[in-house]
Structure 1
């Protein structure tokens, strides 16, 4: 695609997922990590924080400063929902393509992001989960929804995760709702007891968010027919390793389109 290396700034470079991604970028000869954003480690070099070798990678306090100081082709957004949209829009207005790994953005956020991306002729890839097994769950669930009309989703995460449901689940709900939206045998008005116990309705799909210690990210789609049931489930372990390969793939393919795409599979070949 390009003769020169792709230049990347990672926002959230010293976080759990961001630090693993940074190490993956450093070890890939097609990519160049030029800067990082870390409010807690601003002013340091990434090698000091992560113990990496090679060319020093400076850490800045915010995306504005990082992108103004050092040119980048791609911003990889791996921070928190309260700042993510601001970071994405800032990068787009500076002519930088963006990959979003942060969950918690709303549909309204994505509408604004897509509008800005098209105005600036830039690309945004929003991925709820970079793990290949999570991508396969989504693809298999989409296939099942064509044949199995009744289903619900259980969303699992650590008890300290503030966004409910997770970005992975929201992405799946968005996809499944375009194929089929289940109808309730019993309406909410007919239920006896707290209506909330039946889960939240998102695009008319019931979602139940479980938040307990020991979970990282897991998602379960349960399809039911009379006398039979299908469960499709993805579980993440305690390390960020599963997300690195998908993150590197996203960086290498972000140049292949303009506007907004959602889901890692949107740039994969099946």
Structure 2
């Protein structure tokens, strides 16, 4: 029998962190090695997620927790401000990062890739671990070959820190790979309210909606003569990301360097 993969969770008492902890505890091939959070030091993370005590106590020091626990993988859904330092600490400790927080720059991802290769380990940085969202991106990229007129509308809660979302940017990149740059709309178009047409990317627009009560949705709209095609994905609960995170944790053990995006693991 293969050894269990030892998983540490950053931001373990946060909303996404709790779901990751539940996922790890529910998979016999995984073992919860450490729970790291800025608060609840010394509390049993099992109790914090509403389950029976599991014997893993919350630690506020990431480096200490990773080294003392013998973690193989660090799952991080914290904040753009924290995730870079967390990832560097993890890689230097020989722990493979699986990052779902958006906001890392291309330069930071490249540096993480370099650090991972120097240590002989791998990791994953993905804007979205939802299998449905990955399929949405794949379908949109395919449609762009035949319907190049497109716009993206993404919806998130009003407390999201970045706009547009990492998922919409990755979707736009995938669309651009299958489409020549085409500046859409009337060439004499003029915005009477600045920004009303959304952000410009490769000839098309991305629109970000930020409202309370919204969780995470994205719609990709293609227009053609006499027809439109709408590809939409809606997330209603954080638990919907966990099957993808589970796959990513296991795939990270096989990788060298950083893989950006989760779509390469979905056939």
TM range (shorter): over 0.9
2:251 maps to 253
2:135 maps to 136
Query: What SS class does the counterpart of residue 209 from structure 2 fall into?
Result: strand
CA distance in 2, matches of 1:205, 1:7: 43
2:153–2:209 contact (8 Å) kept in structure 1? yes
Correspondence 1:176 to 2:137: no
Q: CA deviation at 1:157?
A: 0.3
User: In structure 2, do the counterparts of structure 1 residues 120 and 108 end up closer, same or farther at CA, with 3 Å as the change threshold?
Assistant: same
1:142–1:175 contact (8 Å) kept in structure 2? yes
Within-5 A mapping of 1:1-270:
3-53=2-52, 55-186=54-185, 191-237=190-236, 239-268=237-266, 270=267
CA distance in 2, matches of 1:204, 1:124: 32
CA distance in 1, matches of 2:180, 2:76: 31
Q: CA deviation at 1:96?
A: 1.1
CA distance in 2, matches of 1:129, 1:20: 15
Q: How well do the aligned residues superpose, as a CA RMSD in angstroms?
A: 2.0
Unaligned runs of 5+ in 1: none
CA distance in 1, matches of 2:188, 2:56: 57
Mean Cα deviation higher: 209-218 or 112-121 = 112-121
CA distance in 1, matches of 2:188, 2:102: 32
Query: What do residues 60-80 of structure 1 show as CA deviations (whole Å, max 9, x unaligned)?
Result: 114222213221000101100
CA distance in 2, matches of 1:54, 1:265: 35
User: In structure 2, do the counterparts of structure 1 residues 166 and 62 end up closer, same or farther at CA, with 3 Å as the change threshold?
Assistant: farther
Q: TM-score, normalised by structure 2?
A: 0.92
Query: What SS class does the counterpart of residue 142 from structure 2 fall into?
Result: helix
1:156–1:211 contact (8 Å) kept in structure 2? yes
CA distance in 2, matches of 1:155, 1:47: 34
Query: What SS class does the counterpart of residue 170 from structure 1 fall into?
Result: helix
CA distance in 2, matches of 1:172, 1:192: 25
Query: What do residues 18-68 of structure 1 show as CA deviations (whole Å, max 9, x unaligned)?
Result: 101111110110000010111022222202312323541121114222213
Q: TM-score, normalised by structure 1?
A: 0.91
Query: What do residues 134-159 of structure 1 show as CA deviations (whole Å, max 9, x unaligned)?
Result: 11101111111122111111110011
2:153–2:208 contact (8 Å) kept in structure 1? yes
Unaligned runs of 5+ in 2: none
1:171–1:262 contact (8 Å) kept in structure 2? no
Structure 1 residue ranges (4+ consecutive) displaced by more than 4 angstroms after TM superposition:
186-190
